[in-house]
Amino acid sequence: MSRLEKLQAANPQMKIYSVLDDEFKAYGRVVDICTEEFCRLVLENVELPAEGTKYVTDIDCLDKSEKAQEYNELLCGQMDEQWGLCWGHNDSMNGLEWHTCNEFNIGVTDIVLFLAKRGEMDEKNRLDANKVKAFYVPKGVMIEAYSDSMHLAPCEVDKNGFYCVVGLQRGTNFKPDPEKKMDAILRGTNKWLIMHESIAGTERDCIIGTNWKLNPIEE
């Protein structure tokens, strides 16, 4: 039984797709490129926290590497991309964010992403949780998530935690300038976020329904 099959058996409450399935094509694409060096750099230089998740917009061992420059040229039209990392322990959707640029992710470990489309929100920025889909990303696979694909921190497939490389247009996810105009759901530069209603405490700008939770598999 494959790890995806084990994961699906442990989570009968939801359908878990693979990013290799046609279902993913509406949300992004799988990038056919070697990720071995980035994965090695992460595992050699970054430790997992005991609990919770961390996110750093740019990790020196990745961002300043020759491989990053290669990715920028091949994938980003020679634009300046920041190569950061999200890592730790997570099993719940909790919220969804989006940017005005596409996002590159590499599952250094197997991960699951909860994804939805911006166009599925209503006029009050509310999203029905039943519109959210779960996608399995095998370790070593790079994906490009489109800018209208809502996402947040990955979920771990097993209890050993997860690592996920995050490539975004430089300047994204920084602290916004409070003296400039911004709307209620702008939580960082080029970062809009809505939380699940149980966390948001509001009748708008939230995800309504199930706060999807992934049961990790036993190793």
Q: What is the CATH number of the domain that holds 41?
A: 2.60.120.10
Torsion of CA 112, 203, 176, 79, to 10 degrees: 40
**pLDDT tens column, 26-80:** 999 999 999 999 999 999 999 999 999 999 999 999 999 999 999 999 999 999 9
Answer whether residue 48 is part of any domain: yes
* Structure tokens given for 1: 């039984």
H or E element, residue 191: strand 191-196
Answer whether residue 1 is part of any domain: no
Answer whether residue 4 is part of any domain: no
Answer whether residue 219 is part of any domain: no
Answer whether residue 199 is part of any domain: yes
Q: Taking a C-beta distance cutoff of 8 angstroms, is the pair 99, 129 a contact?
A: no
Q: Inform me whether the pLDDT recorded for 175 exceeds 80.
A: yes
Q: How many domains does the chain have?
A: 1
H or E element, residue 73: helix 66-75
* Structure tokens given for 59: 């990790």
pLDDT of residue 92: 98
Q: Which domain holds residue 80?
A: 13-208
Answer whether residue 202 is part of any domain: yes
Q: Inform me whether the pLDDT recorded for 154 exceeds 90.
A: yes
Answer whether residue 2 is part of any domain: no
First-last CA distance in the chain: 13
**pLDDT tens column, 69-120:** 999 999 999 999 999 999 999 999 999 999 999 999 999 999 999 999 999 9
Answer whether residue 42 is part of any domain: yes
- Closest-CA residue to 163 (of 215, 81, 102, 105): 105
